Amino acid sequence: MTPRRRGRRLAPLALGLLLTTGASEPAVDPTELSLWDLEGEQVVLADRLSAETPTVVLFWSLYQPDSRRALHALDEVVSAAEGRLSALAVEIPEYREGPDAIRAFLERAGVALPVLVDPDGAVRAAAAASAGGGDVLPLTFLYRADASLTLIAGGWNEGYAAHVRRYALEPRTGTGER
């Protein structure tokens, strides 16, 4: 088997694995970069992270089926966590979809997560540069209460919700607290 063919077989497996990278000092702190809420207000990511609970930040795209699956799964994990976990969904526009299209999708889908928009992908790029993850969507990070950042999933598979739940909520694997 050629290395190229072997890489194709391993890529889907690697995509679904739980990734843990110790982030060193990022060149650009993604929490200090600006995003937009669905009302058109500019916000800084750090202002939307919870100080009390770990916050999962999912970078997703409205037009990617795997991103929508991850969004639904994360919404269910957060609901089941009963206040022990916060989450933000950050939409990366692929076709210049506006807030109305995003709101309509969220309403049809029954997703209650707060959504922000990263119009040029700068926040996702900074997070990926500081904790790994590359250019894949969906891309899921965990921000701990101490503001450390860890990549927890690149891509989506049937085990996504279990990975997020285990990594974000279990002692010694997620928050580093308890």
Answer positive or negative: Cα dihedral of 90, 155, 62, 83: negative
Q: 145 falls in which pLDDT band (50, 70, 90)?
A: confident
Q: Which two tokens stand for residue 4?
A: 């190229």
Among 169, 172, 175, 177, smallest CA distance to 149 is for: 175
Q: What's the token pair of residue 122?
A: 């700068």
Residues in the chain: 178
Domains assigned to the chain: 3-169 (3.40.30.10)
pLDDT tens column, 45-64:
888 888 888 899 999 999 99
Q: What is the pLDDT of residues 109-135, one digit of tens each?
A: 999 999 999 988 888 888 777 766 667
Mean pLDDT, to the nearest integer, of 7-34? 46
pLDDT score, position 112: 94
